[in-house]
Structure 1
């Protein structure tokens, strides 16, 4: 099934470019997806087709500073001010739109990489209205580490300006990711074992770009906020959460996904599950075992529909 697209007005004079995949049969539930850094929602066509074939609708928007949404802003910039709050509020705007289009339909959130952090921030205030959440290719570090990294990002923003694109930040964040996969064929071998998928990413002008210093400041401030135990405790303890990733993903190295699950459990959530895939790298949905991953994801969503949850109020 092909996708449809539309523009959704959002805060601060921004319009979000949104993709939707709708099943032919009545909708069983809706999945709202937040993509990762330096990519865009159009890359999730295969997932949209698989979900719609199983009776699920998928909505995915190009986040601020990404994809076609960046046509009305700057590629690699959330916003000049309050960028983190803006991207989190965008999820709320799209969730509200979905509620109007599909009244009563259960809603799942799916966040990949950077999108998983934005989803976590959304969960702090809206988890009671959701059927479940999936965190893919995520990470967890102590808040102090994010505070220290934010100091570097602020210094780079002072040195280069907020719209500068720091080689230092790029090296500190992504510089070591390819080391485990030498000899390297591209700069993005760490994304997937599937060379065709890596080549498609490299050839896409809306993928792999260097983000602005301002976006990094926003992101690191957001990460520091969501990683604090007292904030994680705000998430509905009965919300089903699936944390999934590759054991060879350099973003998490498997260990930091286990740390994330541990932090969520310590904060009170006893319905969080961990699914690690041996040998898999960062983009599970573009990996060589993507059919296995997608089937497991759909099975988890179907299981989630059997769980009693409060009716959506949004």
Structure 2
């Protein structure tokens, strides 16, 4: 397996760190990956090498405000509003090759909530100009931020006041640490997260408010009429039943509602697993890897029923 680092230049001049995990020959599929809050694309352990071993090339980037895309302390968590977050994502996705292999999109945690907003929200750049949208063969989400777990979810009053502060001082930073012990049942994974200086746990009031509002929109997406854009894409969801960062029940409700609307959806629940399915106890992570590989390869055009791992 070879890797290649690079830079993606955004329209406003910002540079995003990028990385590609390459297959030895022509890839069977390309997977674009969107990381989560206080995370970065090099923090996903054996997930990407495992996908590469199945012929799936992985392309990812550190989002604005995160990882190696941060050039100075004031950049930490400075993602901009949701419109900027989705525009950055769209710019990166438009730069990916789409001719030689089918393209899949995958998001984890905050990145999962972003991905769902990107596909379904009518104001997303993906839906604003359908003539230039990336062509996906499928979309995968795991531990997506549809709702925070009740034990960590802020009150409605706090969310409302946060929106006000975000308008007054949008770029002011707020240290908002994730509880490391809730990320995985593997204690070494929790220690590694704490030691990783690129996982800085810092957001801006604007970025934090946008992240929460994207989840709130997803929770109410199916209420009323005309509030979301239907998609014919196939979707795969994975979530641990023991996740106390993002809420497993919210993902289950979303999946059931999407199915009821005629969506092509598969949902895998991982018993007692925590937030980082890619870095959980071996029996969970091995099954998660196998489920992802199988689903992607089953959705490569022309390979139905002929999947080999």
TM-score category, normalised to shorter length: 0.7 to 0.9
Q: What SS does the corresponding residue of 2:46 show, helix, strand or coil?
A: helix
- Residues 149 and 300 from structure 1, CA distance in 2 versus in 1: closer, same or farther, beyond 3 angstroms? farther
Q: Does 1:194 align with 2:182?
A: no
Q: Which residue of 1 aligns with 2:265?
A: 272
Q: Does 1:136 align with 2:130?
A: no
CA contact 1:202–1:208 (8 Å) conserved in 2 = no
CA contact 1:281–1:287 (8 Å) conserved in 2 = yes
The Cα RMSD (Å) is 2.8
CA contact 1:141–1:256 (8 Å) conserved in 2 = yes
Please give the per-residue CA displacement for 1:211-255, whole angstroms capped at 9, x wherever unaligned. Answer: 12111122233334444225674131x311111011100134421
Is the deviation greater in 226-235 or in 85-94? Answer: 226-235
Residue 296 of structure 2, aligned match among 301, 306, 309: 301
Q: Which residue of 1 aligns with 2:90?
A: 92
Aligned partners of 1:255 and 1:14: how far apart in 2?
Answer: 37
What's the TM-score once normalised by structure 2's chain length?
A: 0.82
- Normalized per residue, the structure richer in helix is 1
CA contact 2:147–2:247 (8 Å) conserved in 1 = no
Q: Which residue of 2 aligns with 1:47?
A: 47
Q: Does 1:261 align with 2:255?
A: yes
Q: What SS does the corresponding residue of 1:58 show, helix, strand or coil?
A: strand
How many residues align structurally?
A: 283
- Residues 149 and 264 from structure 1, CA distance in 2 versus in 1: closer, same or farther, beyond 3 angstroms? farther
Q: Does 1:153 align with 2:162?
A: yes
Aligned partners of 1:84 and 1:146: how far apart in 2?
Answer: 21
Please give the per-residue CA displacement for 1:178-232, whole angstroms capped at 9, x wherever unaligned. Answer: xxxxxxxxx4110001111111100001115131211112223333444422567
Please give the per-residue CA displacement for 1:36-88, whole angstroms capped at 9, x wherever unaligned. Answer: 00111111252221111111110111011100112176111102xxx312221
Q: Structure 1 residue 155: deviation in Å?
A: 3.8
Q: What SS does the corresponding residue of 2:146 show, helix, strand or coil?
A: coil
What's the TM-score once normalised by structure 1's chain length?
A: 0.81
Q: Which residue of 2 aligns with 1:76?
A: 77
Aligned partners of 1:118 and 1:307: how far apart in 2?
Answer: 30
- Residues 91 and 196 from structure 1, CA distance in 2 versus in 1: closer, same or farther, beyond 3 angstroms? same
Aligned partners of 1:285 and 1:25: how far apart in 2?
Answer: 25
Q: What SS does the corresponding residue of 1:18 show, helix, strand or coil?
A: strand
Q: Structure 1 residue 26: deviation in Å?
A: 1.0
CA contact 1:17–1:61 (8 Å) conserved in 2 = yes
Q: Identify unmatched segments of 5+ residues in structure 2.
A: 121-126, 149-153, 304-309
Q: Structure 1 residue 146: deviation in Å?
A: 9.7
Q: Identify unmatched segments of 5+ residues in structure 1.
A: 175-186, 309-314
CA contact 1:35–1:62 (8 Å) conserved in 2 = yes
Q: Does 1:7 align with 2:7?
A: yes
